[in-house]
């Protein structure tokens, strides 16, 4: 079965750039999606198909995907960006797969 | 505005059954695939099952295959999840989600809590 690996936690200073990685075998050949989940709330799609932002998502959220690693980048992190972030792909055998999630702390 | 409203959660004993519903509005329900995703309290997201726009194709995670059944009624803009032979490890918040581009889930409900306990 296909697996996605994310760091448990990432910290970033207010206003700086945070990078959250998502590792998987040849993930660069798949479409990667990223979700933000704040405490007590449902997940929200922030990046789809590697680097596309849904309507209403700030430009400071960006994504990339190559080789065995996809990356969500948050430029100029704000206190309101503190949340759990999940990557997700579609795999032909496992179907829809989520990473374990990364807790982003804004210091 | 897309709205997804789940219902049907509750407390059930191991081995029991429960049927979840998701009422959709704000979009053409019959044009989109739909999914159920669950989250154990304090843990990560787990995709449970998905269904095509017409209902003709269904997909299941190995953890629920043979026990859960997803269905939809496009005339009622509703999605369902029939859960049988429930186990303690099925305890979770169950989200209904709309499929968007390239398998991304672009809209989510607020979830309904299922607790399996004796």
Tens-digit pLDDT string for chain B (118 aa): 999 999 999 999 999 999 999 999 999 999 999 999 999 988 899 999 999 999 999 999 999 999 999 999 999 999 999 999 999 999 999 999 999 878 899 999 999 999 999 9
The pLDDT of residue A1 = 85
Query: Taking residues A91-95, what's their average pLDDT?
Result: 80
Do the bridges between strand B3-7 and strand B18-25 make them parallel or antiparallel, or are there none, so unpaired?
antiparallel
**CB spacing of A96 vs B103 below 8 angstroms:** yes
Residue A52 to residue A59: CA distance in whole angstroms = 10
* % of residues, chain A, pLDDT over 70: 100
Task: List for chain A the helix, strand, coil content (%; round to 5).
Answer: 5, 50, 45
The pLDDT of residue B102 = 83
Say yes or no: B112 contacts chain A, CB-CB below 8 A: no
Mutate to test the interface with A, among B3, B36, B41, B44 (most CBs of A within 10 A): B44
CA atoms within 13 A on the CB side of A40: 0
| pLDDT tops 80 at residue A104 | yes
Query: Taking residues A83-101, what's their average pLDDT?
Result: 92
DSSP string, B36-93: EEEE-TTS-EEEEEEE-SSS--EEE-TTTTTTEEEEEETTTTEEEEEE-S--GGG-EE
């Amino acid at each position: 079965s296909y697996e996605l690996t994310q760091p448990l936690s990432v910290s970033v200073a207010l206003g700086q750039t945070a990078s959250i990685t998502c590792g998987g075998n040849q993930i660069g050949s798949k479409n990667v999606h990223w979700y933000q989940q704040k405490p007590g709330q449902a997940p929200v799609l922030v990046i789809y198909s590697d680097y596309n932002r849904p309507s209403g998502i700030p430009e400071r959220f960006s994504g990339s995907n190559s080789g065995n690693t996809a990356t969500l980048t948050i430029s100029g992190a704000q206190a309101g960006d503190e949340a759990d972030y999940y990557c997700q792909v579609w795999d032909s055998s496992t179907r829809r797969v989520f990473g374990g999630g990364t807790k982003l702390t804004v210091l | 505005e897309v709205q997804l409203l789940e219902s049907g959660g509750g407390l059930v004993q191991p081995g029991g059954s429960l049927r979840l519903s998701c009422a959709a509005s704000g979009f053409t329900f019959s044009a989109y695939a739909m999914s159920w995703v669950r989250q154990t309290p304090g843990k990560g997201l787990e995709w449970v099952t998905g269904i095509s726009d017409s209902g003709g194709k269904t997909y299941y995670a190995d953890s629920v295959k043979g026990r859960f059944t997803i269905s939809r009624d496009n005339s009622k803009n509703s999605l369902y999840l029939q859960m049988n032979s429930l186990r303690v490890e099925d305890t979770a918040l169950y989200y209904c989600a709309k499929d968007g581009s390239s398998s991304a889930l672009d809209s989510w409900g607020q979830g309904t809590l299922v607790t399996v306990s004796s």
